Structure 1
């Protein structure tokens, strides 16, 4: 018989409903039996014991809310009867960095086929990127991109184009609307170049000088990324984000950077025709060189995994997030790197994470970043408690602390070896905390800029998020979503909820998919859809 409820931590005073529970139904866990006072939908939470007004709501063993009224055993928690609350945190002199690494023997001799770069990192792809240094150049880079993609064989045929062609024939000739086979992809001129990607944005001028420097830092992270073979950068000339700043940020990340970077400035070059002509000629030459790179075996220690979530639900923290957390621990134990970001979604687990930092200075850096972020949100009348979306709340994530306690599971249990402010880069193996918003596209954009060569993205409600240069593997927290939105989900962790699979078995499947993806043998659903999301974080309040 499948379980109806789950108590996540021995100290919790609420249960998670794994199935819909009808009012009046008695449910049990061990020696405790509670009768539901009202209907409780799957993913939502039921109070185990009476809780007095202003009493604590505990999940995952931490404070996640306070009662707004007296709550009886069997009551459903809602945004009306509880409010967000989280525990206090401070830098502790004690380091809780001891951990038991998982058994890595099945993975120690495994490799993936990647692109080896001279800086020692290994790419899971080999892309050319085209970047505007300021939004004024968006049209020019789009023109350049469209020509290269079309003429060099990278334009994927759209099933909607075939459908539209059918409709036009039917309209003009009265021909029957028969199905048309998918148009074949033309042969690529440069078969070892996985794609030509466009990174448009709305920044580069009009903001502060710090905004310009931050943008250049993020773009430098993409240019020096191991998945990138080379870049074409178009600048207007008069904007705050100057080519000289970009070059400084490139050198800061990879001293003596050796890959091709073409920088052209329109106000120096002259006419659009001259600018595009030079860009085409130089980019074609750069692509010729990029095509000489080939995949070679690399150990799993060369993986840098970004851990991301979006459209989370009440099952995220008990299926997909713990499963990718197991993967994180395996990669760290093998000598690889893992990035945990989305700082507004670490609210309530600050003490645990700061205690796991390998040095007191690192813990102090993390605590200060969290406090500064929270203060900026409060200064404009908001706060981390505003983070859960309408969809999150509807599917059981009632407070930010509930959401955060589950989201933090993506990072596993290893010590924190680095704390990075945006738009910094991962410099050492182990688990790194990267300061980003909770907004999934902004956070994914930042993780890739920091060096993630594969992203594991968990979702309970469904989101198509992808990235231009790094494959994003989408993991559903429940099987209903996997079946309904199968075109965006790569792997279903729902069997954990149904009891048909263990977290360990699912994590093994995830890691196998990571290896296949990193080797170019598996194409993610986001890649198939051409979901190339890129949104820089303009350093301000974004939750």
Structure 2
């Protein structure tokens, strides 16, 4: 029988509703009986005992808030009676002992990947075209219109046919009501064969940076772009420059040197070449030549230790920290045990768990770096009149994540239990196997963009509310925290962990299935929804306050 309520950690004093609970119900749990004061929806919480104003609210075994008023036992915990609170943190003792998961089923497994000169292995093979400054976005668009369809990478959307059908109805004199009642029909579309069988696509990474702003912004942008060029999923790049902007090609070259990047790069400067026609035509020619060479690379067996896995969440709900995120944590622990690398980011969503994570850092120096990054980030947010406590979105709050500490404690579950081997500041690259912490905002796309720029060749992305976020060069695999979402938004969800909430699967069982799916995606045997939908989100982070 499915459990109706759950206490996440023995030290918690709030209980999570797994089912619809009604006011007046007597809930027998944990050796006692509580009468509910209000209806409690799934994902939301009630307090197990009376709370006085100022009392601590505990969940996931950590402080997540304080009572803003007296709260009788069995009350709905929400923003009107609980306010954000988190424990202070400082440099502590190293706590790096951990229980490694059983990875017998994956020992000796491999994936089919693309080997690069630096020894890294890609899960895909892309050519990228990127601008050093937003002034070149139009030229990128012209190249995209010229190349993508001709090379066989265009996804002729059924919506084009739908729009054409509606326009035809208008021309025929049909009424507005008839047009509004028209239904989208599935259309069989002939797809061009790819010209280059071993190239997964040509991706165009437009952005609004490169000039204006600060010199630090330009440096960080060049570091991020260098990370994409050096990325194991990238065969080579075409770089367009206006010429006079802050983000100079020389800075990009410095950042590429830091990453030991040895990739073919086509560099075109408009102010040197002259006309738009010269820039675009030269870009098309040289990109095509680059593709001819890149197509010679084929997939070969690679050990799972070559996987670098990003751990992301977005549109989280009250079940994310119970089903989807702990499953990612288990997969992270398995991959670390197998010698791979994983990356946990979104520093505003680690508020309240800083002590645990800093204590898990293998080196004291690394722990200090993490502490300093967290404190400086929090200080910048406060100086801007904001704070980490303002991170939860209206959607988060509506679905049970009422304080940043509750959201953070659940989000941190994606990092599993393994020691932290390195702490990276944006846009540094992953250099060590094991669990890495990367300083990024909580913004889904900025964080995912950053993790891929740091070298993640796969991303696991949990969601409870649904988000289509993807990335131009790395598969972003969507994991639903609940079955309702998986069924409602089946076009973007790859894996459903709502089975854990329903008692059908354990976290370990779901984790084994997830890692098996990851290997298939990494090998090109399966295509995740974000890739199939061509969800190519790319937003560089300006180092201002972004929660």
Any idea what the Cα deviations from partners look like across 1:454-480, whole Å, max 9, x if unmatched? 100000000000000000000000000
Contact kept in structure 1, 2:242 and 2:270, CA below 8 Å: yes
- 2:101 paired residue number: 102
**For 1:174-253, what aligned pairs fall within 5 Å after superposition?**
181-253=187-259
**For 1:323-338, what aligned pairs fall within 5 Å after superposition?**
323-338=327-342
Q: Quote the Cα distance in structure 1 between the aligned partners of 2:470 and 2:422.
A: 25
The partner residue of 2:409 within 405, 409, 425 is: 405
Contact kept in structure 1, 2:64 and 2:85, CA below 8 Å: yes
- 1:150 paired residue number: 149
Any idea what the Cα deviations from partners look like across 1:344-376, whole Å, max 9, x if unmatched? 000000000000000111100000000000000
Q: Quote the Cα distance in structure 1 between the aligned partners of 2:323 and 2:466.
A: 15
Any idea what the Cα deviations from partners look like across 1:130-189, whole Å, max 9, x if unmatched? 101000000001111221102111111211122233334555569999957321110111
Contact kept in structure 1, 2:328 and 2:414, CA below 8 Å: yes
Q: Quote the Cα distance in structure 2 between the aligned partners of 1:408 and 1:330.
A: 16
Residues 3/241 of structure 1: CA separation in 2 closer, same or farther (3 Å cut): same
Any idea what the Cα deviations from partners look like across 1:98-124, whole Å, max 9, x if unmatched? 111111111011111100111111000
- 1:473 paired residue number: 477
TM-score by length of 1: 0.98
Contact kept in structure 1, 2:317 and 2:465, CA below 8 Å: yes
Q: Quote the Cα distance in structure 1 between the aligned partners of 2:41 and 2:223.
A: 45
- 1:67 paired residue number: 67
Q: Quote the Cα distance in structure 1 between the aligned partners of 2:326 and 2:267.
A: 43
Residues 104/179 of structure 1: CA separation in 2 closer, same or farther (3 Å cut): closer
Deviation at 1:502, TM superposition (A): 1.1
Greater Cα shift, 437-446 or 150-159: 150-159
Deviation at 1:318, TM superposition (A): 0.3
- 2:17 paired residue number: 17
The partner residue of 1:317 within 281, 297, 321 is: 321
Deviation at 1:528, TM superposition (A): 1.5
Residues 454/177 of structure 1: CA separation in 2 closer, same or farther (3 Å cut): closer
Q: Please give the secondary structure, in 1, of the residue aligned with 2:460.
A: strand
TM-score by length of 2: 0.97
Q: Quote the Cα distance in structure 1 between the aligned partners of 2:109 and 2:173.
A: 58
Q: Quote the Cα distance in structure 2 between the aligned partners of 1:515 and 1:402.
A: 32
Q: Quote the Cα distance in structure 2 between the aligned partners of 1:187 and 1:155.
A: 10
Any idea what the Cα deviations from partners look like across 1:30-85, whole Å, max 9, x if unmatched? 31221111111110010001111100000011000000111111011110111000
Deviation at 1:27, TM superposition (A): 1.1
Contact kept in structure 1, 2:198 and 2:295, CA below 8 Å: yes
- 2:179 paired residue number: none
Contact kept in structure 1, 2:22 and 2:38, CA below 8 Å: yes
Q: Please give the secondary structure, in 2, of the residue aligned with 1:196.
A: strand
Q: Quote the Cα distance in structure 1 between the aligned partners of 2:323 and 2:165.
A: 43
Q: Please give the secondary structure, in 1, of the residue aligned with 2:202.
A: strand
Aligned length: 540
Q: Quote the Cα distance in structure 2 between the aligned partners of 1:177 and 1:66.
A: 51
Contact kept in structure 2, 1:162 and 1:182, CA below 8 Å: no
- 2:44 paired residue number: 44
- 1:527 paired residue number: 531
The partner residue of 1:307 within 311, 316, 335 is: 311
Contact kept in structure 2, 1:127 and 1:196, CA below 8 Å: yes
Matched, 1:288 2:287: no
Residues 489/177 of structure 1: CA separation in 2 closer, same or farther (3 Å cut): closer
Q: Quote the Cα distance in structure 2 between the aligned partners of 1:44 and 1:81.
A: 13
Q: Quote the Cα distance in structure 2 between the aligned partners of 1:25 and 1:542.
A: 42
The partner residue of 1:513 within 517, 526, 540 is: 517
Residues 536/177 of structure 1: CA separation in 2 closer, same or farther (3 Å cut): closer
Any idea what the Cα deviations from partners look like across 1:298-341, whole Å, max 9, x if unmatched? 11111100000000000000000000100000000000000000
Q: Please give the secondary structure, in 2, of the residue aligned with 1:96.
A: coil
Q: Quote the Cα distance in structure 2 between the aligned partners of 1:15 and 1:178.
A: 44
**For 1:104-503, what aligned pairs fall within 5 Å after superposition?**
104-171=103-170, 181-254=187-260, 257-503=261-507
Deviation at 1:222, TM superposition (A): 0.3
Residues 179/90 of structure 1: CA separation in 2 closer, same or farther (3 Å cut): closer
Any idea what the Cα deviations from partners look like across 1:392-417, whole Å, max 9, x if unmatched? 00000010000000000000000000
Matched, 1:26 2:32: no
Q: Quote the Cα distance in structure 2 between the aligned partners of 1:167 and 1:48.
A: 57
Q: Quote the Cα distance in structure 1 between the aligned partners of 2:186 and 2:426.
A: 47
Any idea what the Cα deviations from partners look like across 1:497-532, whole Å, max 9, x if unmatched? 011111111111111110111011111111111110
Contact kept in structure 1, 2:230 and 2:262, CA below 8 Å: no
Contact kept in structure 1, 2:325 and 2:413, CA below 8 Å: yes
Give RMSD over aligned pairs: 1.4
Q: Quote the Cα distance in structure 1 between the aligned partners of 2:139 and 2:536.
A: 18
Deviation at 1:2, TM superposition (A): 1.5
Any idea what the Cα deviations from partners look like across 1:481-505, whole Å, max 9, x if unmatched? 0111111100100010011111111
Contact kept in structure 2, 1:163 and 1:180, CA below 8 Å: no
Q: Quote the Cα distance in structure 2 between the aligned partners of 1:206 and 1:411.
A: 36
